[in-house]
């Protein structure tokens, strides 16, 4: 079997859900504390994807929180479906969990989605929507005791039946992430089990009714890489889609750990693709069905467009509230955290997506920071105040300046590099090294280097991955160019 190691959507885009309308596929993922929420991708072949928007892109749709308390809260495990001429999406906002799940809809997934309605009385995470042949809508989610379900009016959020547990899973931990899919005479209930770590897997049950009783797949879990030697681990949380020719596929999450034992993953949980065959009316995963090339990830943004590209996010706040594109000038950043502060307030960021990368930011005005982070207690940055650069790292209670350089002009771009470790056998190696520095004469000048494991999920915890962003320190600043490149910029001669 060919080992496919490339995600269809690299970077922390976990908990994928997918639907098809004609020749078009649409996919959404979790976004946690970052605003805007729920990125939307489009594809024609399931392999190549383009982000076309974000579902929750207005403050009236989404409330998220800054700081450590908000980390890995926010938006959990959405489901996207197409029914009766409209796209529907259900998800959970951990910051508003007692309101129930939220449901929004749109005629165009790349356009404007409605303000949410809430399913008061349905408390849990990971909601799914499915309609039977009579038009009854079933809301299915993960709650205490397993998978719960109620019928619902999706246009109002009102529950039409009392919630009840319909399946307790196979006995593995953390039965969650349900998706209901109809094929032929059966309804299939997919669930993520084993926890979203090394024991993760996709399990399936079937029934002639969308409410059960459920017969578990005799080969559960149908997908798991636990205890096997595979470069992609933690595989689980799948969703099925039927292709126009009648064949089927599944999207699911996974991680790509690297470094010495016990290894670390830094780009978060990513979205992968497998084929699916049907044997005795059961789904069978075919992992080598698709050849997935490396996704193109490089970009340069000069902020000449009148609004931000949908890739740009901010932890706990709407980036449009502090990042103002001014064509012909650049991007005006309103003052964020004070220079000595640790917690991001107005950080404009993008996800890291590769094992190695170089990021540069040209900032001709203001005190600024170029930051790689997982949360406010795990980050590293190049900070500039006047003509002094400092390389700063925050790891838990540690907050230290590792190196400084004076006389660096504003025409020098701030820069960060990640250099991935590819040795098969090594000791005391993190997944990569992170270099903090600046560019001069198109070469990278390193101020300091840190072990990348200190900015990994295994150290920080949580459900997200690294982002790289820019913040104005105490005063307004101007960003005129930002580049992300998986190819390394050559280091300056020592």
Residue 442: pLDDT band with limits 50, 70, 90: confident
Q: Is 440 found in the same domain as 366?
A: yes
The C-alpha atoms of residue 360 and residue 106 are separated, in whole angstroms, by 36
428 in a structural domain = yes
- Residue 211's contacts (CB-CB under 8 Å, 6 or more residues apart) are 138, 149, 166
358/469 same-domain check: yes
Q: How confident is the prediction for the chain on average, in pLDDT?
A: 95
Q: Which residues are catalytic?
A: 15, 176
Residues 91 and 201 grouped into a single domain: yes
Do 345 and 439 lie in a common domain?
yes
Q: Is residue 6 part of a domain?
A: no
Least confident of 3-12, 208-217, 238-247, 275-284: 3-12
- Given strand 270-279, what is the order of strands in its sheet? 233-242, 248-255, 270-279, 282-286
Asked if the model's pLDDT at residue 389 lies above 60, the reply is yes
pLDDT at residue number 422: 72
Kindly state the average pLDDT of the residues 233-252: 98
Do 30 and 62 fall within a single domain? Answer: yes
Whole-number pLDDT of residue 1: 52
- Whether 79 and 217 map to the same domain: the answer is yes
The band of 487, judged by pLDDT with boundaries at 50, 70 and 90, is confident
| Residue 447 domain-assigned (yes or no) | yes
* Domain contains 293: no
Residue 8 inside a domain? The answer is: no
How many folded domains does the chain comprise? 2
Residue 117 pairs with which residues in a beta bridge? Answer: 103
Write out pLDDT tens, residues 34-87: 999 999 999 999 999 999 999 999 999 999 999 988 999 999 999 999 999 999
271 and 232 part of one domain: yes
pLDDT in tens, 98-129: 999 999 999 999 999 999 999 999 999 999 99
Any domain includes 171: yes
Q: Residue 473 in 3-state DSSP?
A: coil
Query: What 3-state class would DSSP assign to 321?
Result: helix
pLDDT band at 261 (very low <50, low <70, confident <90, very high): confident
- Domain of residue 69 covers 17-286
- pTM value? 0.96
Q: What is the pLDDT of residue 64?
A: 96
Interval 412-431: pLDDT, tens:
999 999 999 876 666 778 99
pLDDT band at 441 (very low <50, low <70, confident <90, very high): confident
Write the CATH number for 378.
Answer: 2.60.120.200
- Which of 3-12, 34-43, 163-172, 423-432 is the least confident region? 423-432
- Is the domain of 72 the same as that of 126? yes
What CATH number is given to the structural domain containing 109?
Answer: 2.115.10.20
The confidence band for 208, taking pLDDT boundaries of 50, 70 and 90, is: very high
249, 265, 286 - which closes a domain: 286
Query: How many whole angstroms from its chain centre is CA 22?
Result: 26
Distance CA 217, CA 276 (A): 14
Same-domain pairing of 277 and 340:
no
Which of 286, 314, 338 is at the close of a domain?
286
Question: Is omega for the bond preceding 213 within 30 degrees of 0, making it cis?
Answer: yes
Query: Could you give the CA distance from residue 471 to residue 493 in angstroms, rounded to a whole number?
Result: 30
- For position 362, what pLDDT does the model report? 97
pLDDT digit string, tens, across residues 308-348: 999 999 999 999 999 999 988 999 999 999 999 999 999 99
Of residues 195 and 425, more confidently modeled: 195
Instruction: Quote the pLDDT of residue 377.
Output: 98
CB 208 within 8 A of CB 187: yes
| Domain end position, chosen among 263, 286, 309 | 286
Are residues 465 and 327 part of one domain?
yes
In a domain, 493, yes or no: no
pLDDT at 489 over 80: no
Q: Are residues 279 and 257 in the same domain?
A: yes
Residue 41 maps to a domain? yes
Residues 252 and 332 in one domain: no
pLDDT of 427: 73
Q: 461-471, pLDDT tens digit by residue? A: 999 999 999 99
CB 471 within 8 A of CB 348: yes
Q: Which of 266, 270, 217, 185 lies closest to 8, judged by CA?
A: 270
With residues binned 3-state (H G I as helix, E B as strand, rest as coil), the percentages for the chain, rounded to 5, are: 5, 50, 50
SS3 state at 46: coil
State mean pLDDT over 164-184: 97
Strands 146-151 and 215-216: unpaired
Alpha helices by DSSP H, listed for 388-492, are 457-460
């Amino acid at each position: 079997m060919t080992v496919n190691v490339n995600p269809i959507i690299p970077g922390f885009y976990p908990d994928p859900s997918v639907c098809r309308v004609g020749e078009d596929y649409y996919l959404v993922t979790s976004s946690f504390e970052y605003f805007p929420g729920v990125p939307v991708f489009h594809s024609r072949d399931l392999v190549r994807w383009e982000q076309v928007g974000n579902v929750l892109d207005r403050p009236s749709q989404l409330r998220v929180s800054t700081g450590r308390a908000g980390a890995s809260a926010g938006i959990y495990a959405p489901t996207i479906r197409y029914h009766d001429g409209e796209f529907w999406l259900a998800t959970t906002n951990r910051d508003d969990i007692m309101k129930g799940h939220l449901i929004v809809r749109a005629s165009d997934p790349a356009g404007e989605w409605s303000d949410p309605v809430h399913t008061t009385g349905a408390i849990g995470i990971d909601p799914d929507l499915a309609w039977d042949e009579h038009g009854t809508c079933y809301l299915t989610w993960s709650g205490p005791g397993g998978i719960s379900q109620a019928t619902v009016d999706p246009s109002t959020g009102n529950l039409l039946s009392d919630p009840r547990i319909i399946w307790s899973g196979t006995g593995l931990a953390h039965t969650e992430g349900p998706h209901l899919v109809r094929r032929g005479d059966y309804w299939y209930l997919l669930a993520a089990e084993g926890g979203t770590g090394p024991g993760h897997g996709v399990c399936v049950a079937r029934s002639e009714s969308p409410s059960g009783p459920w017969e578990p797949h005799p080969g559960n879990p149908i997908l798991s890489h636990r205890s096997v030697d595979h470069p992609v681990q933690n595989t689980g949380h799948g969703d099925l889609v039927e292709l126009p020719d009648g064949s089927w596929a599944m999207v699911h999450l996974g991680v790509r750990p690297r470094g010495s034992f016990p290894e670390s993953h830094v780009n978060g949980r990513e979205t992968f693709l497998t084929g699916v065959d049907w044997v005795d009316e059961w789904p069978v995963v075919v992992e080598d069905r698709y050849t997935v090339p490396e996704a193109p990830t490089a970009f340069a943004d000069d902020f000449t467009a009148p609004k931000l590209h949908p890739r740009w996010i901010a932890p706990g706040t709407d980036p449009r509230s502090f990042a103002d594109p001014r064509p012909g000038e650049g991007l005006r950043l309103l003052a964020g955290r004070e220079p000595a502060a640790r917690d991001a307030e107005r950080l404009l960021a993008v996800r890291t997506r590769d094992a190695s990368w170089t990021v540069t930011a040209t900032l001709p005005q203001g005190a600024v920071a170029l930051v790689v982070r997982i949360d406010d207690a795990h980050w590293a940055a190049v900070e500039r105040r006047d003509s002094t650069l400092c390389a700063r790292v925050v790891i838990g209670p540690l907050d230290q300046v590792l190196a400084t350089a004076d006389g660096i002009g504003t025409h020098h771009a701030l820069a960060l590099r990640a250099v991935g470790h590819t040795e098969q056998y090594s000791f005391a190696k993190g997944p990569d090294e992170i270099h903090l520095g600046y560019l001069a004469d198109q070469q990278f000048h390193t101020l300091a280097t840190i072990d990348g494991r200190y900015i990994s999920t295994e150290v920080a915890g949580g459900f997200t991955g690294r982002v790289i962003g820019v913040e104005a320190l105490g005063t307004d600043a101007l960003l005129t160019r930002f580049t992300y490149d998986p190819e390394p910029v050559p280091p300056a001669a020592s």
